[in-house]
Structure 1
Amino acid sequence: MARPECIKHWQEIQGADDSRYPGSAELMSIGSPFGRSFGLKRIGIHHEVLPPGRRTSWPHAEKTEEEFAYVIEGTPDVWLDGHLHRLAPGDGVGFATGTGLAHTFINNTETDVRLLVVGECFRADNQVIYPLHPARNAAIGSQYWSDAPQDPLGPHDGLPDKLRQSNGPF
């Protein structure tokens, strides 16, 4: 009997290695969109491969969308408001709505990191803030979270070590 469509391996649905922000040459993580593949409408579920020297996104915070990330493999850093925290397999990180906690996951190691990321699908009432990318905030128009709570940012610039050392692309 053939496997039903509700069963997928992450490698079957993995997207191309071309995820980047508009106007940026920086490659981000490589995703396998389980939720979309299964036709789920309310939750997004992604398996993310984060190669050495990359990050999952530009540091950002969401107004109304909840998110959770679980480390399957590797030891990434999570960037939280300018501070790095090393993670290990089995660690989970949750982002509640409305906190303004800006975040991204960075791979400063020499091996791939694998993450399981779960969150709400696109919400029309959601807004986002990119505390280190004012041009991105301007570009997203009404999706910009202009009144987000903001704690002072710590000393880390949000870049993977390899990207900073190579002086680009940003």
Structure 2
Amino acid sequence: MNDKPTSLNAEGISEPFASENVPLEEWSKGTRYGTKFRYLSGFGGANHVGVALEELAPGKESNMNHYHMLEEEQAFILEGEMTLRLGDKTYLMKAGDHVCFPAGQKVGHSFYNHSDTPCRFIMIGEKNPNEVVVYPETGRVGVRLLSEGYDKAATMEYWQGADTEQKPRN
């Protein structure tokens, strides 16, 4: 049984809800990364599409620069401004701006709040259980299905480690 609050009624039907009724969650790592968010889709009982109302504080980066192999993400800026890091380029994002990160677009993305006020935005993404996420700056490859991360530099050839001369076992 889920003991987190949701918008599901006694019959399991997802009812409308106000975003301020969704618990505010927060995470941070060191002084560089961190955000506050309300996981709207989880509160509403959604399983396939993730929607979060996020707030990025001044001087914080939203996450490590990354791209998705199977999932698409989108962001819509509600208030404030921040910098989008997209590969080697940066873009000023302000209220009313929207950006899409198509699945398989091999260009890392992350947000950095360069301003002196919080930036609020909606983040939308798929929740593919087989997702693979690549982090170009660190070489990490995350495999959601396995709940593991790997070093992209530690690659293997297909036949590496296989005994190609031994007879098959009966």
With normalisation by structure 1, the TM-score equals 0.71
Cα distance in 2 for partners of 1:109, 1:25 equals 16
SS in 1 for 2:52: strand
Runs of 4+ in 1 over 6 A off after TM superposition: 138-141
Is it true that 1:129 corresponds to 2:134 in the alignment? yes
Is it true that 1:55 corresponds to 2:61 in the alignment? yes
SS in 2 for 1:29: strand
Instruction: Count the aligned residue pairs.
Output: 139
Q: Which runs of 5+ in 2 are unaligned?
A: 1-6, 154-170
Cα distance in 2 for partners of 1:75, 1:7 equals 29
The structure whose RCO (Cα within 8 Å, separation 6+) is larger is: 1
Cα distance in 2 for partners of 1:30, 1:68 equals 18
Q: Which amino acid aligns with 1:62?
A: H
Deviation per CA, 1:130-160: give whole Å up to 9, x if none: 11123xx16868655959xxxxxxxxxxxxx
- Greater fraction strand: 2
Q: Which runs of 5+ in 1 are unaligned?
A: 148-170
Distance 1:15 1:71, change over 3 A: same
Contact 1:60 1:129 in 2 (8 A): yes
1:7 to partner: Cα distance: 2.7
Cα distance in 1 for partners of 2:129, 2:103 equals 14
Q: Which amino acid aligns with 1:10?
A: S
With normalisation by structure 2, the TM-score equals 0.71
SS in 1 for 2:24: coil
- Highest Rg: 1 or 2? 2
Contact 1:67 1:94 in 2 (8 A): yes
Q: Which amino acid aligns with 2:22?
A: I
Distance 1:139 1:126, change over 3 A: closer
Cα distance in 1 for partners of 2:151, 2:73 equals 17
- Tell me the percent identity: 22
Structural RMSD (CA): 2.6
Q: Which amino acid aligns with 1:32?
A: R
